[in-house]
């Protein structure tokens, strides 16, 4: 009885492991196919611009709201943790570096991943179950070129742009809170920003955003293309796209942090 249970457990784990390997393989193939078709896909520049507006411009207000409060919270937290230990003149530099390196790119990726990843998966999933993707193929139009390339390219381009906005707005949010409630003067805050601004911090944050954009675009498209069934399938694909892009953003964030700050920018 116990042996039977152990065997069933082993089979279950083996099946799940094989499913996972197959999933990784399919995502890799989609990435390869997207790379192969990027040139031809960019010829439909109108589609790329449409997606840039949908992914970038339409996400801007969400990013503004999230960023301003991120900066504000960072200021409050920094002031609390500095108390009697670190002079408050460093508050600007701490907010700057934490926002530019980590909070800006990661929080932007998480909120955009929720909004855009879900929207891409739902749109492509609905197209899949209503045979619109079959219709594209029947018209000899490659769905990866027509649907995936514009979305992934736009996400890769727009995530760093949104991150730049997020960084600026979060630093401004931190400035407002520092000056109005923490008791730091504008001059001290701005001096802190200037003294501890390093280009490599900004570069590493934007490089992360490029990777995060790719993750959001590919996860949305992959799960949209894998949709089966009807409305339930579309809902499931949407959830999977958001969850997988958020988890991958955090994993890749850790990997990139290691590569960038332990090897490339290590002093």
Partner 1 sequence: MIQIRELRRKLGSKQVLDGVNLEIRQGETLLIMGRSGTGKSVLLKHIIGLMTPDSGSITVDGVDIVGMSEQELSAVRRRFGMLFQGAALFDSLTVGENIALPLREHSGLPEREIRKRVAERLEWVGLTGVENMKPASLSGGMKKRVGLARAIAMDPQFVLYDEPTTGLDPIMADVIDQLIRSLQQRMGVTSVVVTHDMQSAFKVADRMALLNDGRVVFLGTPDEVRATRDPLVRQFVEGTSEGPIRPV
Q: Give dist(CA 99, CA 221) in Å, integer.
A: 29
Site string for partner 1, 74-113 (x = CB under 8 A): ----------------------------------------
Q: Give dist(CA 58, CA 115) in Å, integer.
A: 10
Burial level of 224, CB count in 10 A (0-12/13-18/19+)? Answer: buried
Q: Under the criterion CB under 8 A, does residue 134 sit at the interface with partner 1?
A: yes
Burial level of 50, CB count in 10 A (0-12/13-18/19+)? Answer: middle
Residue 118: closest CA among 27, 208, 244: 244
Shortest spacing between CB 131 and partner 1, in angstroms: 4
Shortest spacing between CB 25 and partner 1, in angstroms: 18
Q: Under the criterion CB under 8 A, does residue 191 sit at the interface with partner 1?
A: no
Q: Are 74 and 102 in contact (CB under 8 A)?
A: no
Q: Under the criterion CB under 8 A, does residue 57 sit at the interface with partner 1?
A: no
Q: Under the criterion CB under 8 A, does residue 38 sit at the interface with partner 1?
A: no
Q: Give dist(CA 92, CA 88) in Å, integer.
A: 8
Joined together, the tokens standing for residue 9 give: 């457990």
Of the candidate residues 130, 181, 185, 258, the single one contacting partner 1 (CB under 8 A): 130
Of 129 and 164, which has the nearer Cβ to partner 1? 129
Of 38 and 132, which has the nearer Cβ to partner 1? 132
Question: Where does residue 206 fall: left (phi above 0), alpha (psi -120 to 50 degrees), or beta otherwise?
Answer: alpha
Of the candidate residues 89, 142, 179, 236, the single one contacting partner 1 (CB under 8 A): 142
Q: What does DSSP assign to residue 197?
A: -
Joined together, the tokens standing for residue 117 give: 């990843």
Shortest spacing between CB 14 and partner 1, in angstroms: 21
Q: Which segment (3-11, 137-145, 172-180, 227-235) binds partner 1 by CB under 8 A?
A: 137-145
Of 95 and 133, which has the nearer Cβ to partner 1? 133
Burial level of 36, CB count in 10 A (0-12/13-18/19+)? Answer: middle
Residue 198: closest CA among 108, 106, 156, 260: 260
Q: Under the criterion CB under 8 A, does residue 5 sit at the interface with partner 1?
A: no
Shortest spacing between CB 136 and partner 1, in angstroms: 8
Of the candidate residues 17, 18, 35, 135, the single one contacting partner 1 (CB under 8 A): 135
Of the candidate residues 132, 172, 236, 250, the single one contacting partner 1 (CB under 8 A): 132
Q: Under the criterion CB under 8 A, does residue 141 sit at the interface with partner 1?
A: yes
Shortest spacing between CB 107 and partner 1, in angstroms: 30
Contact residues toward partner 1 (CB under 8 A) are 123, 126-127, 130-132, 134-135, 137-142
């Amino acid at each position: 009885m116990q042996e039977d249970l152990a065997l069933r457990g082993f089979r279950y784990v083996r099946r799940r492991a094989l499913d996972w390997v197959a999933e990784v393989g399919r995502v890799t193939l989609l990435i390869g196919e997207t790379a192969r078709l990027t040139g031809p896909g960019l010829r439909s520049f109108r589609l790329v611009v449409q997606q840039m507006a949908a992914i970038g411009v339409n996400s801007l207000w969400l990013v503004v709201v999230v960023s301003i409060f991120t900066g504000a919270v960072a200021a409050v937290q920094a002031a609390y943790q500095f108390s009697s230990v670190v002079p408050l003149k460093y508050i600007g530099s701490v907010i700057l570096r934490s926002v530019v390196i980590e909070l800006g790119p990661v929080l932007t990726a998480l909120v955009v991943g929720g909004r855009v990843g879900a929207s891409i998966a739902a749109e492509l999933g609905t197209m899949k179950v209503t045979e619109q993707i079959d219709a594209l193929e029947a018209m000899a139009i490659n769905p990866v070129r027509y649907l995936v390339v514009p979305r992934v390219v736009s996400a890769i381009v727009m995530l760093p742009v949104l991150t730049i906005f997020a960084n600026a707005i979060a630093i401004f949010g931190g400035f407002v809170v520092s000056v109005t409630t923490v008791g730091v003067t504008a001059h001290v805050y701005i001096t802190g920003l200037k003294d501890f601004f390093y280009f490599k911090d900004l570069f590493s944050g934007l490089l992360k955003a490029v990777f995060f954009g790719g993750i959001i675009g590919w996860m949305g498209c992959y799960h949209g293309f894998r949709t089966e069934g009807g409305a339930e399938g579309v809902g499931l694909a949407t959830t999977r796209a958001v969850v997988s892009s958020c988890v991958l953003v955090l994993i890749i964030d850790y990997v990139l942090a290691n590569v960038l700050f332990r090897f490339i920018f290590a002093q």
